[in-house]
Chain A
Amino acid sequence: MTATEIDSPPAGTASAPALRLEDVRVELSGSSGRVQILRGVSFEVPRGQIVALAGESGSGKSTAMLAAVRLLPWGAGVSGTIECQGEDVRALSSRQLRQFRARTARVIFQDPWSSLHPMRSVGSQLVESARSADGSLSKAAARELAVETLRRVGIPDPKARMDVYPHQISGGQLQRVMIAMALVARPAVLLCDEPTTALDVTTQAQILDLLRDLNRSEGITVLIATHDLDVIAGIADRLVVMYAGRVVEDGPAQQVLAAPKHLYTWSLLQAAPAHQHESRLRPIEGRPPRSDENLPGCAFAPRCPGARDECTGELPGLELVAVGHRSACLPVQQQKEAQQ
């Protein structure tokens, strides 16, 4: 029995996950023909939790997130199952898709400077977002809701901020405005694509605190893509680690950070200051495979300090290695089998 079968109750029941990806593959047209960005990604985001999607640039975490709301570039080839709040995202008609994007799943992008419209006031963008989710909302009511939401995300003097243009406020405040733009829709799921990467460290912490508060108080499910494990260590319930277009490890955040079950995650932690207790950081040698490279075995094997001969030969599947903790690492799986 595989881990996915254990972890996923049938869709539509009350305990169905907020977001479920199963064997999702994405191909994009690059300069050198079609390239595989996602190579069979499966993971779940349980309702009401904060899940971090971690990986280096190019690992496919942003692609997985954008695929969940069908915002991939034109011409992307997608296969597999994507379910969000019990809806089959890939089967939605364009009208249903608009409703789904407007009400159910909202996205926060990496760079607030280039995500808000530079020629329109903050207020008009908030009002548009609120009325997209709820067509019956009058302009005045939407404005009121927008001001209230700006206050909730910690914008001082929200009434005055409504008439301001994006270039007139700081990056941290802009990201709060982006979050407010999502919140006015009262979405069930918030997809955050590296929401703090473009911000300074102090602001990062504030934005993450805000996301955690919203998760606690409103029960919004949050998926955060990040390349920085330190950033999400404090707030994530679960951690999904991606490498070269695949999920390599997936488990409770604290457990993954304290006792990683994949040598990639382990190496990543060795290279991060906050998790490394020895005096020297150990960088990971080499580079991730290019998206047009097809390795028969584990994609991390060429860089892995504990790789065995089998690692390069066959692709290890994601298997349960502890309670609620899956890993696609052959040495770890073999060790566990030996113990049984």
Chain B
Amino acid sequence: MIGFLARRLGLLLLVVFGVTTVLFVLTRLSGDPAAIMSPPDAGPEVLAATRERLGLNDPLWLQYVNTLVSTFTFDFGQSFAMDTSVSSVLWSRLGTSLYIIIPALVIGPLVSMAIGVYAALRPTRRSGRAVMGAAFLTDGVPYFLLAFILILVFAIQLGWLPATGNASYAALVIPVAVLTLQAVSATSRLVRGQMLDALGQGPVQTARSLGLSPAVVLFRHALPLALPPLLAWLGIQFSFLFSSLLVLEPIMNYGGIGNLLVRSVNQRDFPVVQACVVVFAVLITTVNIALDVAVRGLDPRLRKAS
């Protein structure tokens, strides 16, 4: 187990290194921050001074080393565009995003589980098929379109919820609903498939033959068989969630980390872009490692190997 964790930790460092390197190359190819930050009529000497101030006149290898050092010390310095340190804006925006991430992460899997299991127990009945049909249709609608539909209905037509912003708890409802629906539509169909498969397996037939109650057969025997692939899927879903924030937060004018990243890219605010992407990479990799550990805890057959 120690060796397993050490290897995964090494993988995490490798991912962070790779992400930082790719990002360095892409940002340096993306244009001159000084030109974007300065007024259109600024003279060449103004641009040169700005470049000097931002450290963009250093040789590229030195900039790369500085970038790596800042990533691994988690100290990203000053923002190019804002008059503040990167870490203070990073943590406050991440905190704002967590208000929609955490509810979506709790509600999404629970609802998917409930719907998927319900449908798996009624594979041929109309109710089970109707639920899956609805999930399929929702899955076909892009989540940003879903956001517009919800805003149109609940904010503009009915006036129940604010259309944009993050000023009140009511403003959280639509973004959380969008992220949850997006996760549920795909995950519930996977849950149904996995449960249907598990219910047909030998150990479940054995459990039935012991005269155990349907609930015990379902939750203590079938569910553990279905769970490992679902946990792996949850890891993938977690990275989808962060990529959705990049579109959802700007269109809803939600002041979270997704919005911050998009704006920083537009402004060529390299330190903030780097900080956001590194945080994304660390979070996504850590969650996937945690899920790996959970699967190993669940299935004794995996513990001996590796």
Contacts and interface: CB of A to CB of B under 8 A. Distances in A.
Contact of B202 (A106, A114, A165): A114
A99 B224 CA distance: 25
A119 B299 contact: yes
A132 B210 contact: yes
B209 A106 contact: yes
A69 B209 contact: yes
Given A98-B212, A99-B211, A167-B301, A117 B221 contact: yes
Interface in B199-235: 201-203, 205-213, 221, 224-225
Interface residues of B, number: 20
Contacts of B209: 69, 71, 101, 106-107, 109
Contacts of A165: 300-301
Nearest to A165: B300
Interface string A86-130: 000000000001111111001101010011111111000000110
Nearest to B204: A117
A101 B206 CA distance: 11
Task: Classify the interface of chain B: helix, strand, loop or mixed.
Answer: helix
Interface residues of A, number: 30
B124 interface: yes
Contacts, number: 69
Could you say which of B202, B208, B213, B301 has the most chain A C-beta atoms within 10 Å of its C-beta? B202
A272 to B, nearest CB: 29
Interface string B219-260: 001001100000000000000000000000000000000000
Could you say which of A99, A100, A101, A121 has the most chain B C-beta atoms within 10 Å of its C-beta? A101
A30 interface: no
A147 B103 CA distance: 47
Contacts of A116: 203, 206
Nearest to B124: A75
Contacts of A107: 206, 209
Interface string B266-306: 00000000000000000000000000000000111100000
Contact of A119 (B124, B202, B208, B224): B224
23 contacts: A69-B209, A71-B208, A98-B211, A101-B208, A101-B209, A102-B210, A102-B211, A109-B205, A114-B202, A115-B203, A115-B206, A117-B207, A117-B224, A117-B225, A118-B225, A118-B300, A119-B225, A119-B300, A119-B301, A120-B224, A128-B212, A167-B300, A167-B301
